[in-house]
């Protein structure tokens, strides 16, 4: 009997990421064979059990989709927004149901991956795999050697200390600076908070790569399917 955890099954149906699937379960939105399930450890028989989210039957995805998008500023990285803001999903006109891998905040632009492959999405976002994401940040002020040292070795933010980052100054005129920073964690607004912790205000922030996947020449709002080589690379991580 093929069994797997309910949140993994939901992710493999292309509904959302495994983490978001756990939230749906805890919110009481998931039923299995008509029974409400709120236990994260619950397992389903993938051949026989029928799983419903908000009353709709879901099924395992056969056609796996892998896309990269240049997210513009002013879009939220969700499938649907409660405040009716523009969503990144609106930019990708395909019949398949997909969702973002991780997130970029409303004011951040750049590379975003989208997929319906739940297993891959979960693996890419787990810190233990140390998949570096690289950003270009423009900030007010100059970054001195002490600032760079704190960022490279880990800096206290709220209730946690960040993992070491890869940091390089691209240019600085004493009034503003442009810095390249790579992190493998994915906490909310982390790069902005790291730079704020060394006294810098971010003017603009753009993600240019996800591991070895590059933004390339995609313009804001444009997207393309990942190449076979890019997909193989992600699955090898």
Q: What is the 3-state secondary structure (H, E, C) of 72-136?
A: CCCCECCCCCCCCCCEHHHHCCCCCCCEECCCCCCCCEEEEEEECCHHHHHHHHCHHHCCCEEEE
DSSP structural state of residue 15 = S
Task: Compute the average pLDDT of residues 53-76.
Answer: 92
Distances (CA, A) of 148 to 49, 130, 136, 197: 53, 21, 15, 11
Place 15 in a pLDDT band, splitting at 50, 70 and 90.
confident
DSSP-derived pairing of the beta strands 223-225 and 51-53:
unpaired
Instruction: At 149, list the tokens.
Output: 């040292």
Catalytic residue among 45, 81, 105, 119: 105
CA–CA separation, 224 and 222 (whole Å): 7
CA pair distance 125, 211, nearest whole angstrom: 11
Confidence of residue 79 (pLDDT cuts 50, 70, 90): confident
| 0.75 surpassed by pTM | yes
3-state class (DSSP) for residue 152: helix
Q: Return the half-sphere exposure (C-beta side, CA atoms, 13 A cut-off) of residue 99.
A: 25
Bridge partners (DSSP) of residue 51 are 32
Q: What is the mean pLDDT of residues 41-45?
A: 92
Burial of 92 (0-12, 13-18, 19+ CB in 10 A): middle
Q: What pLDDT was estimated at residue 13?
A: 87
54 is catalytic: no
Q: Above 60 in pLDDT, residue 1?
A: no
Contact 77, 103 (CB under 8 A): yes
Compute the distance between CA of residue 30 and CA of residue 37 in angstroms, rounded to an integer: 6
Least confident span in 40-49, 124-133, 148-157: 124-133
| Helix or strand run (H / E) with residue 146 | helix 145-153
Contact 110, 104 (CB under 8 A): yes
């Amino acid at each position: 009997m093929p069994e797997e955890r309910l949140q993994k099954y939901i992710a493999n149906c292309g509904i959302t990421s495994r983490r978001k699937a756990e939230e749906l379960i805890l919110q009481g939105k998931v039923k299995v064979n008509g029974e409400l399930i709120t236990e994260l450890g619950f397992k389903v028989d993938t051949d026989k059990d029928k799983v419903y989210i908000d009353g709709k039957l879901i099924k395992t995805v056969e056609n796996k989709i892998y896309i990269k998008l240049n997210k513009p500023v002013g879009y939220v990285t969700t499938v649907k927004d409660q405040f009716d803001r523009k969503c990144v999903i609106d930019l990708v006109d395909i019949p398949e149901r997909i969702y973002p891998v991780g997130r970029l905040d409303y004011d951040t632009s750049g590379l975003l991956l989208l997929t319906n492959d739940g297993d891959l999405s979960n693996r890419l976002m787990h810190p233990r795999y140390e998949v570096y994401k690289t950003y270009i940040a423009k900030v007010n002020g100059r970054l001195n050697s002490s600032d760079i040292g704190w960022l490279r070795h880990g800096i206290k933010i709220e209730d946690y200390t960040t993992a070491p980052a890869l940091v390089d100054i691209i240019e600085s005129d004493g009034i503003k600076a442009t810095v390249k920073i790579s992190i493998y964690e994915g906490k909310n607004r982390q790069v902005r908070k790291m730079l704020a912790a060394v006294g810098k205000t971010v003017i603009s922030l753009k993600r240019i790569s996800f591991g070895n996947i590059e933004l390339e020449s995609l313009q804001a709002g444009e997207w393309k399917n990942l190449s076979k080589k890019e997909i193989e690379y992600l699955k090898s991580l």
